[in-house]
Structure 1
Amino acid sequence: MSKRGKLYITLIAITVLTIIALEMTKPKQINWFESYALHHKIPFGSFVFKEQLQRVSKKVKLVERPPFEYLKSNSANGTYIFYNDVINFGREELNSLLDWVDKGNTLLVSARDFEPMLLDTLHLKTLSVNTIGNFNNEYKVQLVNPRLDNNSFKYDKPTTFYHFNKIDTLKTNVVGFIDAYRNPQEEAIKDSLVNIIKQPFGDGTIILSTFPQAFTNYFILKTPNHNYTASLLSYINTDEPIFVDTYYKSGKKFYTSPMYLFLNNRALKWAYYIVLICVLIYIVFEGKRKQRAIPIITPLKNHTVSFTRTIANMYYEKGKNKDIAKHKIQHFLEYIRNTMYLQTATIDAEFIKNLAARSNNTLEDTETVFNFISNIEKQTTVNNIELERLNTLIDNFKSHNQWKTKP
């Protein structure tokens, strides 16, 4: 290898090692994925909410099945809690939930926005919160009940929120407000936008919230935001069973891909990256196109002579001397046309004279050959002696030819 090649390899190796050292020493990046999964400790998981809820109530049950399937196989009463970025029940599942609420149970659903069928059933409409002037994309939320901690609570992650711009004022109770965080001096929300409502449905109650982040680790662990979540839960009866949905969650309960194990472990992740880098280096330096070995192909043998001999022997053994003589004569005439360039359609004295001159044979020898050929053609049968005589005359005639013959 040349000195320049060794230099390039050294520079690449130093660069790769430097990148690996920098990556391994830098702090681990925060995962901001909005999973809402109860087992996730990332900012937008809800591990803290699950732990605190189980401290408040001893009757918390985590439901890992779709609500339609769970309610069909269980007749327990209580409160069913759903919260996620997006929740779409579907017609049949929503009807089963509403039937369950109608029997005296409580349904709490928290999502950014809701499916049209649920909003139409409760005579509600939603609209996104106006963010004009909210340059930092910060929001504040507040509960209405003065007996609760009704201070405003700050949420400082950019996103899009919705509020209820149309409600059934005869049946709907306003529970909480949301608004853009514009003036830090304001402690309460003015010109409030309704984001949490409570509405009776049959013998039960439905609570809707457009702020699912209230149940995440990021919001609860920022003091005093935990008071907001605790006050919201005061609207449900903690003495009855509380069913917390784990089916409608953006985060997975378990990971089926083996790559998750590699990428989630720092050492395995960098081992995987180093292997990829080594493969790339190999491709760059060793992946050049090389000449493949050219296989030796044995050329096909010319079996024309063997084939001709086989056919001739077959004719000879079967006693077909006339056919052999006929082919011999045709081949001889073809030889004259190809080597001496004479037409053989008419064989007369002039033709024989020209042929004798071109073939370096005497006129008498040439006449002898063609006289014998004429006699053979007139006969119906040819014996062995005559066939051998014909072959001898033709071979002798060709031996005197001074013209170059085709191979």
Structure 2
Amino acid sequence: MGKRGKIYITLAILGILALVVFEMTKPKDINWFPSYATHHKIPFGSLVFTEQLQRISDSVIPIDRPPFEYLRKNNIKGTYLFFNNNVNFGKAELERLLKWTSEGNTLVVSSLTFEEKLLDTLNLAMESVNIFDNFENKFEVKLVNPVFETKKYKFDKASTLFHFNKIDSSKTRVIGVVDKIRKETDTIKNERVNIIKQTWGNGEIILNSFPQAYTNYFILNAPNQEYTAGLLSYLDISKPIYLDQHYKSGKKFYTSPMYLFLNNPNLKWAYYLVLIGVIFYIIFEGKRKQRAIPIVKPLNNQTVDFTRTIANMYYESSKHSEIAHHKIQHFLEYIRKQMYLDTSTVDANFLKNLAARSNNSIEDTEKLFGYIKRIQEQHTINNIQLERLNSLIENFKSHNQWKTKN
């Protein structure tokens, strides 16, 4: 590679590093996704509310399963709290929730709108708050209970809000109201009911069309936390509070293993640098073709075949004495290595130790070495004697339980 090519590569690497530094140091865009997830720190997550709820109640139980399934498998008492942009129960699920509420429990549902079946059951109707002359989307909410001194709380991140335009005043209690703000000096003039409470059997139902009251953005804008605290005052904290995590717009779990990499700036750019390195490798190294390496088969072990060939030559040439001599020497070497005995002196003590170590009887051991002695004393032997010697040696070795292959 020439000098000019190296300069181009250096400039490219410096440019990439500069881009990485710029991306890592620039401020992150605010995520305004209406998550309502209890673990999200984004403006419309509900981490702050969840932490505060756990501070005032020792029994906050997150439920990540559908309420129909959970109530069918568990006999629980207390408050079941739902909040999300939209909470839509199925027919069978709603019936089970209402039955559970009538047994002396509290059902709290906070959603922009509610399904028709629930509204019809409670004799309610809803419509949106008129947004004409409200171009900045500013709303004002308050709790009507005099205990809260009818303070007003502002919210400016909703395109519209909904209110109950029909209620059964004989059995419905108003908890909160909402209205638009045309100017900063305006106050609520036409109070529109957005939070109600009804008795249902032996229990209670609280419907709230302002779920943003549970979000991080609303609570962290003082003094809005007082409004959310006022809503919590309607809950019986002496009993368990079951916090729904099933009806949430935000993800409850990571669906991709790449989430951890792409959600963490350091890991994300480390991942990108690896990809960039791979691209550079492909560009500069991909053209280099390596010659195929031929497969070299290893040489076959011809030792056994060679030994057999030599042995056959000796046997066919009637050199039985030489074969017997090699056979005896090999056997003595076997005794030295396997039995750890000195074969220079073959006496009664040696035969006794050899018989004990080889798992043979003393008679068979004496018989073998007596035959070996006769073979060594003869100048010539025939093939029958050679075969007899081989048979005695192999039979002797077969009794050795610690033998290894030779």
The two structures have a TM-score, normalised by structure 2, of 0.64
- 1:259 match: 258
C-alpha change, 1:117 and 1:283, in structure 2 (3 Å) is: farther
Matches within 5 A, 1:38-117: 38-117=38-117
Deviates more, 1:8-17 or 1:71-80: 8-17
Cα distance in 1 between the residues matched to 2:139 and 2:272: 40
Instruction: Determine helix, strand or coil for the equivalent of 2:75.
Output: coil
The more displaced of 8-17 and 193-202 is 8-17
Distance 1:94 1:17, change over 3 A: same
1:189 paired to 2:188: yes
Matched residue SS, 2:204? strand
Q: After TM superposition, give the deviation of residue 5 of structure 1 in Å.
A: 7.2
Q: CA deviation at 1:263?
A: 0.9
Which residues of 2 match residues 3-402 of structure 1 at below 5 A?
12-186=12-186, 188-278=187-277
Give the Cα separation in 2 of the matches to 1:125 and 1:287: 69
Q: Does structure 2 retain, via aligned residues, the 8 Å contact 1:142–1:189?
A: no
Residue 353 of structure 1 is matched in structure 2 by none
- Letter matched to residue 99 of structure 1: K
Q: Output the CA distance in 2 between the equivalents of 1:240 and 1:207.
A: 16
Alignment partner of 1:258: what SS?
coil
Going from structure 1 to structure 2, the CA distance change for 1:6 and 1:254 (only over 3 Å counts) comes to same
Aligned mates of 1:35, 1:57 — CA distance in 2: 24
* Partners of 2:204 and 2:32 in 1: CA distance: 33
Using a 3 Å threshold, how does the CA distance of structure 1 residues 3 and 132 change in structure 2: closer, same or farther? farther
- Partners of 2:19 and 2:223 lie apart in 1 by 41
Check the 8 A contact 1:134/1:181 in 2, yes or no.
yes
Of all paired residues, the percent bearing the same amino acid is: 59
- SS across alignment from 2:258: helix
Distance 1:284 1:116, change over 3 A: farther
Q: 3-state SS of the aligned residue for 2:199?
A: strand
Change (3 A) 1:284 1:119: farther
On the 8 A contact 1:139/1:180 being kept in 2, the answer is yes
Deviations 1:330-386 (A, max 9, x none): xxxxxxxxxxxxxxxxxxxxxxxxxxxxxxxxxxxxxxxxxxxxxxxxxxxxxxxxx
Shift of 1:101: 1.2
Query: What one-letter code is carried by the residue in structure 2 that aligns with 1:174?
Result: V
Matching residue of 2:369: none
Q: Deviations over 1:163-191 (max 9, x none)?
A: 112222332222111222322123x4111
Task: Name the amino acid aligned to 1:96.
Answer: R
Per the alignment, do residues 279 and 99 of structure 1 end up closer, same or farther by CA in structure 2, a change over 3 Å counting?
same
Q: Any idea what the Cα deviations from partners look like across 1:131-185, whole Å, max 9, x if unmatched?
A: 2222222222111111224211111224332211222233222211122232212
Q: Give me the whole-angstrom Cα distance separating, in 2, the residues matched to 1:50 and 1:199.
A: 25
1:298-353 superposed Cα distances (whole Å, 9 cap, x missing partner): xxxxxxxxxxxxxxxxxxxxxxxxxxxxxxxxxxxxxxxxxxxxxxxxxxxxxxxx
Whole-angstrom distance in 2 between the partners of 1:110 and 1:170:
22
**RMSD after superposition:** 2.7
Amino acid at match of 2:180: A
8 Å CA contact retained: 1:144, 1:177: yes
- How many residue pairs are counted as aligned between the two chains? 290
Contact 1:149 1:227 in 2 (8 A): no
Q: Deviations over 1:80-99 (max 9, x none)?
A: 11011221110011000001
Instruction: Tell whether the 8 Å contact from 1:80 to 1:106 is kept in structure 2 after alignment.
Output: yes
SS in 2 for 1:159: coil
Preserved contact between residue 180 and residue 188 of structure 2 (Cα < 8 Å): no
C-alpha spacing 1:143/1:16, structure 2 compared with 1 (3 Å): same
